[in-house]
Structure 1
Amino acid sequence: MIGTCELCDRDGVELTVHHLTPREVGGSHLPKSCHKQIHALYSNRELAIRLNTVLLLKDDEALKKYLKWIKKQPVTRAVRIRKSKTK
């Protein structure tokens, strides 16, 4: 599905579903790059306990740098994801 990322607000990206809560509750539509970056930075436990909404993710310092950078990237660019050293 092509659409707008709920996290980085880029339009025209191919979206996947990222489950902020258990799968039965639903999820947010994010491109693969944002989805992978979230999982590279945070454990599933941390996501479930501390970062379980798009607003909380957008406000987290570790992800803010990525969001500032990704918004400037063309949607056609293949993005390399960096793992967190502290995860």
Structure 2
Amino acid sequence: MDVCELCGRTVTKCTLHHLTPKEEGGSFKPTAWLCVPCHKQIHALYTNKELAIRLNTIPQLKEDDRIRRYLKWIKKQPGTKSVKTKKANSRKQKK
């Protein structure tokens, strides 16, 4: 069992998240172990540039309003529950 560094839930598997995306020069910068739903939600809500510039630490992510609402919800979900990730309207429009 693993513990997600973002939501704090105990889950069966965590994935490695580059706090500064590799595409933005983060290949050798700090990383965090996140559960799959949290990892997907981060990339659904934010662009890689936004992650690199202002959300490149776990505390910065936890303080952001968009992910904070999600974290409040996901913390109540069992670590074995499969959840769907939805893109925020503002992220959809940036494509």
Normalising by structure 2, what TM-score? 0.86
Q: Deviations over 1:22-51 (max 9, x none)?
A: 021241000110000000000000000010
Percent of aligned positions that are identical: 51
Q: Which residue of 2 aligns with 1:12?
A: 11
Aligned length: 86
Q: CA 1:83/1:29 → structure 2, altered by over 3 Å: closer, same or farther? A: same
Segments of 5+ residues of structure 2 without an aligned counterpart are: 21-25
Runs (4+) off by over 6 Å: none
Q: Whose Rg is larger?
A: 2
Q: Which residue of 1 aligns with 2:2?
A: 3
Q: Which residue of 2 aligns with 1:34?
A: 38
1:51 alignment partner, one of 55, 70, 77: 55
Q: Which residue of 2 aligns with 1:80?
A: 84
User: How far apart are the structure 1 equivalents of 2:83 and 2:66?
Assistant: 17
Contact persistence 2:11–2:80 (CA under 8 A)? no
Paired amino acid for 1:12? V
User: How far apart are the structure 2 equivalents of 1:29 and 1:11?
Assistant: 12
Normalising by structure 1, what TM-score? 0.93
What secondary structure is seen at the aligned counterpart in 2 of 1:25? coil
What secondary structure is seen at the aligned counterpart in 2 of 1:16? strand
> Which segment drifts farther, 65-74 or 25-34?
25-34
User: How far apart are the structure 2 equivalents of 1:14 and 1:82?
Assistant: 21
